Chains A and B, each alone.
Chain A
Amino acid sequence: MLRMMVALISGTLFGLGLAVSGMANPQKVIGFLDVTGDWDPTLALVMGGALLVAAPAFRVILGRRRPVLAEDFDLPANKGVDARLVGGSALFGVGWGLAGFCPGPAVVALVPALVTGIVPVFAFFAAMVAGMAIYERLS
């Protein structure tokens, strides 16, 4: 029960962070990726701000024997760089560059899209879920 509360609070902080940062707006993301145009470095500060907290926090947290509410830390066992990692990330980057949406902002943007009725946001979200379902089929 406590773990569910933590997941809800963590998700809420994350969603709030995305809304505050401006990253739910694809134009801010494309502005960052457009390095030869009118470059907008905001995304670097969002990632930098997140790492400013998460990197030192992880050093302390992962030094613990176990998390506060769970049996173990669920970290990826795979340590090697392989074709699936590189190929999948390359495909993800192409989609990210085309739309300016990655998974977090695509979820968070559903809220203003519901208010103002921006159809392409729902189309992107539905297609993203379909892409994830295709992966489940393949694996």
Chain B
Amino acid sequence: MLENFTPLSGLAGGLLIGLSTALLMLMNGRIAGISGIVGGLLARKGSEVAWRAMFAGGLLLGAVAYVLAMEEAFPVIVEESLPIMVAAGLLVGLGSRLGSGCTSGHGVSGIARLSRRSIVATLVFMGTAILTVFVTGRVL
């Protein structure tokens, strides 16, 4: 039971994400939602491209900083086949934009301001994700 549970690093990472979210709202008045930020870089209209590019660059910079500080890459283990990963990527990209957010925009920023839409969205995507893992892992 719970042999993979890493509570301390999970909590520490979560606090950093919360700090990032609070900082962007306090200073710039913007939601730290990754699907909106990355997807917004593809939008034809709008002048909010520059800060989104800076934020996305920061995501990569944070990962690089971790690798340099720890002197090793953090684990990324993919067990699914390439076609499944491509299908999943399409669903995540299209679905998160249609649904106006993902784990960060709805799951953190939205819930933090008690948005009803974000609470519903988080319950829905958690629900279909749990169901998907159950079906692919236990049924198929």
Contact = CB atoms under 8 A, between A and B. Distances in A.
Interface residues of B, number: 112
Given A14-B62, A67-B28, A40 B5 contact: yes
Q: How large is the interface on A (under 10, 10 to 19, 20 to 34, 35 or more residues)?
A: 35 or more
Contact of B92 (A33, A36, A90, A95): A95
Nearest to B98: A88
Contacts, number: 502
- For A10, A16, A61, the residue with the greatest tally of chain B CB atoms inside 10 Å of its CB is A10
Contacts of A54: 18, 21-22, 108-109, 112
Nearest to A126: B89
B38 A103 contact: yes
A93 B88 contact: no
Interface of B: 1-7, 9-32, 34-35, 38-39, 42-44, 50-52, 54-67, 73-82, 84-100, 102-104, 106-109, 111-113, 115-117, 120-122, 124-134, 136-138
Interface of A: 2-28, 30-31, 33-43, 45-55, 57-58, 61-62, 66-76, 78-81, 84-104, 106-113, 115-116, 118-121, 123-136
Given A38-B4, A89-B128, A90-B124, 20 more contacts: A7-B55, A9-B58, A10-B24, A11-B57, A11-B61, A14-B20, A14-B59, A14-B62, A25-B74, A45-B10, A53-B21, A70-B28, A73-B29, A88-B100, A90-B99, A91-B91, A97-B132, A111-B60, A124-B86, A136-B43
